[in-house]
Amino acid sequence: MTDPTVAAGTSSSRGSVSTGGAPGDVVGVALVPGLPHLLADDPAPSWTALADATRTVGERICAASPDAVVLLSTQWFTVLGHQFQHDPNPRGTYVDENWYAYDYGHLRYDYPVDVDLIERWATGTERAGMQARLTRYDGFPIDTGTIVAGQLLDPDGRLAVAQVSCNLYAPAETMTRLAELGVEAAGHLGRRVVVVAVSGLSSGLIQRWITPDEDRILSAEHDRWNTRMLDLLTAGDVEAALAQRAAYAEAAAVDAQGRALAFLAGAGLDGVRADVVAYGPIWGTGGAVVWWQP
């Protein structure tokens, strides 16, 4: 067992220390789904469309040749401080506790972590008055969303990842700040990065075992809200989307209350029009693949 080097202290007073960050070079921003159905041998049409769209975004990322991916997955959720994955090479298998009975419930992962970027990001987070902790343990369970997104965006596992957990008790503004700090840390190191959030939209699950062809967004209201938010992103109005985040979360049971969008906003999306590459249901939830080219 490797013991972690804990970069954390105890301070939680916020924002009093400048991080003095360089702006960082963001060459792409993406939102992708994290449910494993996208890897199904027998997929629903929307699962195929979402998987293909995620691969398309992966090709765009590859074309931009970033040094690292600054990553958030809402399925690695935490409640105390912010954890940063510090294992240089997470690899193993994961059996999903929900979908184990399906082919897509058994997942393999093997990818590099940008340890320097992680350490810089965690230190910057601490300096900014937030609690940060490096996470490096044998057998640590990498979440399904991270694995699914990795397999579709970067099937060969070549891209170095810098991932922070999704604190479900942290305000959305903190998630924005975390992404800003990640980009700043990359800037300090001269890294070109893409910023990716793995998250669903509405999270109303169909509460029975369905066949793939039965899949649809759980409710018309969820569908309307998802579409309204995607339209705002397409128009380049992230500010308006964030202003409606709380209402959206309440009305459509949004995955992690929309913290993924708040995180992506920290990559600098003001006025940048989104390309909604695909949108559709995953077991009743809303899934979208969205790409921004800053």
Partner 1 sequence: MARSVRSVRPMSYVFRMPPATGAVTGAPDSSPAVDRQTAGQERGEPEQRDGRGEIVAGYLAPHPPHLVYAENPPQNEPRSQGGWEILRWAYEEARRRLKERHRPDVIIVHAPHWITMVGHHVNCVPNPRGTSVEPIFPHLLRYHYDFHTDVELAEAIVDEADAAGLVARRMTEPGVRVDYATIGALHLLNPDWDIPVVSLSANNNPYYYASAGLDDMETLGVATRRAIERTGRRAVLAASNSLSHLHWDTEPELPEDMAAEHPYNNHQYRWDMRLLEAVRAGRTKQLRTLIPEHIAQTEGEIKSGSLSWMLSAMGWPEVPGDVLGYWTVIGTGNAVVEWEPMRTDRSATPAAHATGTQR
CB 100 to partner 1: min, Å: 4
Tell me if 95 contacts partner 1 by CB under 8 A: yes
Tell me if 54 contacts partner 1 by CB under 8 A: no
Options 205, 240, 272, 276; binder of partner 1; rule CB under 8 A: 205
- Using only the alpha carbons of the chain, give its radius of gyration: 18
Tell me if 201 contacts partner 1 by CB under 8 A: no
Options 15, 23, 141, 155; binder of partner 1; rule CB under 8 A: 141
Options 2, 12, 18, 211; binder of partner 1; rule CB under 8 A: 12
Options 59, 214, 239, 250; binder of partner 1; rule CB under 8 A: 250
CB 82 to partner 1: min, Å: 9
Q: In this chain, which stretch among 47-55, 178-186, 199-207, 262-270 interacts with partner 1, using CB under 8 A? A: 199-207
CB 92 to partner 1: min, Å: 10
Options 208, 211, 213, 220; binder of partner 1; rule CB under 8 A: 208
Tell me if 98 contacts partner 1 by CB under 8 A: yes
Distance CA 46, CA 184 (A): 36
Tell me if 158 contacts partner 1 by CB under 8 A: no
Tell me if 79 contacts partner 1 by CB under 8 A: yes
- The 3-class secondary structure across the chain, one letter per residue, is CCCCCCCCCCCCCCCCCCCCCCCCEEEEEEEECCCHHHHCCCCCHHHHHHHHHHHHHHHHHHHHCCCEEEEEEEEEEECCCEEEECCCCCEEEEECCCCCCCHHHEEEEECCECHHHHHHHHHHHHHCCCCEEEECCCCCCCCHHHHHHHHHHCCCCCCCEEEEEEECCCCHHHHHHHHHHHHHHHHHHCCEEEEEEECCCECCCCCCCCCHHHCCCCCHHHHHHHHHHHHHHHCCCHHHHHHCHHHHHHHHCEHHHHHHHHHHHCCCCCCCCEEEEEEEEECCEEEEEEEECC
CB 201 to partner 1: min, Å: 12
Beta bridge partners of 285: 282
Tell me if 263 contacts partner 1 by CB under 8 A: no
Tell me if 170 contacts partner 1 by CB under 8 A: yes
CA end-to-end span of the chain: 41
Tell me if 251 contacts partner 1 by CB under 8 A: no
Residue 208: both structure tokens together: 């029975």
Q: In this chain, which stretch among 5-13, 108-116, 153-161, 183-191 interacts with partner 1, using CB under 8 A? A: 5-13
Tell me if 122 contacts partner 1 by CB under 8 A: no
Q: Are 130 and 14 in contact (CB under 8 A)?
A: yes
**Which residues here bind partner 1, judged by CB under 8 A?**
1, 4, 6, 8-10, 12, 14, 76-81, 83, 93, 95-98, 100-101, 105-106, 131, 133, 135, 137-141, 143, 165, 167-171, 203, 205-209, 246, 249-250, 253-257, 283, 285
